[in-house]
């Protein structure tokens, strides 16, 4: 029972040592002398260290490990820094251009949508006026409106498809010849 | 006591102001600010990545990727926190992504990878005014502890580096590593204890 309590005390002391502020732990003077902030856990630890040589050695060794850990020199080379800076600048420029393009696309889309809405309304009113003037049934001028709206898009789609298939055929015939 | 409080308040407010300025610059994707940050954090970030990955070459690649990610995701930086905490979290996520792609099973797999060119992941120590014997001794001790670090699991290495090299608070480490405070404490304790045998002649 007493042994278990002792083990708990060592375990608690070692955890407190390791979790002490890094500066306190790695300073060159005796660790127990640095526990002077008056907190109850530090007072307990200082008292424990006065009587426990193994925990005292643990504290000194932990401090030594930290000092050595800090002495491992890892430094970034000048070329790494300048390469990184130029890569970041290039990417920043790309992102800026991308943002400008997206802004242009957004403005164009808005303008096209507005134009389409206005022209559709104008076309509807125009067809209605013509239908009334020519005394046509409403279904007839409405069909005319539909054809007028759909035909340009259809023609454009067919033209694009034809262009694409022509290009595709040309590519294939080129590869056969090659 | 009052002067200490005033000093603490001054540091806190200047840090908060710096974070706000960084956040504003990152939202603008200000390249001058990024140049300055790269200069400022070059050694700390590289050191963290070298210790995390155990390979200098990989750490340098991740160093560059981290800054590109900072540029792209700069708007996500919350100026309530220190910039370094966010920077290390970004670097950590990139390292984990990389390790998952290479070795999906475990992060520890990297520990056994030796540098392909045979170069040590750590730079040779700076030569100062110490004697040749001191330098040799220091280099030897550094090599011991560096070798010890390479034998630790990545999460212990990370905790030790953030705590003792970067001087981060336990809360900041928890925030970088996305783990509870208790886990951070445990990792530091176990990591430092595991380094014991690598302290020549003075096991912890």
- Name the residue in chain B with its Cα closest to that of A57: B204
Does 1.10.10.10 match the CATH number of domain B129-204? yes
**Higher pLDDT among residues A172 and A71, named by residue:** A71
- Compute the average pLDDT of residues B174-191: 91
Chain B interface includes A98 (CB < 8 A)? no
Burial B115-126 (b: 16+ CB within 10 A, else e): eeeeeebbbebe
Displacement of CA A80 from its chain's centroid (Å):
23
Chain B hits for A23, CB-CB cut-off 8 Å, are 167
Average pLDDT of the residues of chain A: 83
**Higher pLDDT among residues B81 and B15, named by residue:** B81
Residue count of chain A:
178
Res B126: pLDDT: 44
Q: How crowded is the C-beta side of A173, counted as CA atoms within 13 Å?
A: 6
Res A158: pLDDT: 92
Per-domain residue ranges for chain B?
1-114, 129-204
Per-domain residue ranges for chain A?
2-71, 102-177
Q: Report d(CA B196, CA A61) in Å as an integer.
A: 8
Q: Report d(CA B164, CA B120) in Å as an integer.
A: 21
Tell me the ipTM for this assembly. Answer: 0.70
pLDDT tens-digit profile of A144-167? Answer: 888 888 888 889 999 999 887 777
Q: Between chains, do B71 and A95 touch, taking CB under 8 Å as contact?
A: yes
Helix, strand, coil shares, percent, chain A, to 5: 85, 0, 15
End-to-end Cα spacing for chain B = 37
pLDDT tens-digit profile of B24-35? Answer: 999 999 999 999
Residue B165, pLDDT above cutoff 90: no
Measure in Å the smallest separation between the Cα of B123 and chain A Cα atoms: 5
Chain B interface includes A53 (CB < 8 A)? no
Chain B hits for A75, CB-CB cut-off 8 Å, are 43, 46, 123
pLDDT tens-digit profile of B115-162? Answer: 333 444 444 444 445 566 666 666 676 677 777 888 888 889 899 989
Q: Residue A31 has what DSSP assignment?
A: G
Beta carbons of B115 and B56 less than 8 angstroms apart: yes
Q: Which two tokens stand for residue B112?
A: 């056994």
pLDDT band at B101 (very low <50, low <70, confident <90, very high): confident
Which numeric CATH code is attached to B1-114?
1.10.1740.10
Q: Residue B204 has what DSSP assignment?
A: -
Q: How crowded is the C-beta side of A112, counted as CA atoms within 13 Å?
A: 6
Look at residues A51, A69, A128, A91 and name the one whose alpha carbon lies nearest to residue B191.
A69
Which residue is listed with tokens 């067919």?
A158
Res B103: pLDDT: 64
Chain B interface includes A100 (CB < 8 A)? no
Look at residues B186, B151, B89, B134 and name the one whose alpha carbon lies nearest to residue A71.
B134
Res B117: pLDDT: 38
- Compute the average pLDDT of residues A34-56: 79
Alpha helices in A39-137 (DSSP H): 40-51, 53-71, 78-133
**Choosing among A55, A59, A76, A86, which should be mutated to test the B contact, i.e. which has the most B CBs within 10 A?**
A76
């Amino acid at each position: 029972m007493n042994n278990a309590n002792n083990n708990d005390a060592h375990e608690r002391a070692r955890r407190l040592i390791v979790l002490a502020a890094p500066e306190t732990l790695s300073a060159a003077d005796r660790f127990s002398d640095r526990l002077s902030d008056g907190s109850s856990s530090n007072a307990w630890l200082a008292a424990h260290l006065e009587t426990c040589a193994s925990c005292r050695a643990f504290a000194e060794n932990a401090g030594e490990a930290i000092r050595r850990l800090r002495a491992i020199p890892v430094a970034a080379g000048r070329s790494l820094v300048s390469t990184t800076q130029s890569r970041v600048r290039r990417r920043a420029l790309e992102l800026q251009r991308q943002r400008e393009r997206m802004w242009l696309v957004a403005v164009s889309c808005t303008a096209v949508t507005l134009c389409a809405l206005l022209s559709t309304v104008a076309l509807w009113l125009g067809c209605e006026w013509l239908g009334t003037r020519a005394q046509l049934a409403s279904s007839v001028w409405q069909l005319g409106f539909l054809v007028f709206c759909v035909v340009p898009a259809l023609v454009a789609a067919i033209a694009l498809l034809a262009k694409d298939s022509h290009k595709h055929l040309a590519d294939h015939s080129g590869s056969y010849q090659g | 006591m009052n002067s200490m409080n005033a000093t603490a308040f001054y540091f806190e407010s200047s840090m908060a102001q710096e974070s706000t300025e960084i956040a504003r610059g990152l939202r603008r994707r200000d390249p001058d600010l990024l140049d300055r940050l790269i200069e400022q954090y070059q050694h700390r970030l590289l050191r963290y990545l070298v210790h995390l990955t155990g390979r200098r070459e990989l750490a340098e690649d991740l160093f560059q990727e981290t800054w590109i990610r900072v540029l792209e995701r700069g708007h996500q930086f919350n100026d309530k926190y220190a910039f370094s905490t966010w920077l290390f979290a970004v670097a950590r996520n990139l390292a984990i992504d990389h390790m998952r792609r290479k070795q999906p099973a475990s992060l520890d797999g990297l520990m056994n990878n030796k540098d392909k060119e045979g170069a040590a992941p750590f730079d040779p120590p700076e030569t100062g005014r110490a004697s040749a014997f001191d330098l040799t001794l220091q280099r030897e001790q550094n090599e011991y502890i560096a070798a010890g670090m390479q034998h630790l699991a990545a999460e212990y290495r990370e905790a030790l580096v953030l705590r003792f090299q970067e001087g981060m608070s336990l809360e900041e480490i928890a925030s970088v590593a996305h783990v509870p405070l208790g886990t951070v404490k445990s990792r530091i304790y176990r990591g430092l204890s595991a380094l014991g045998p690598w302290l020549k002649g003075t096991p912890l």
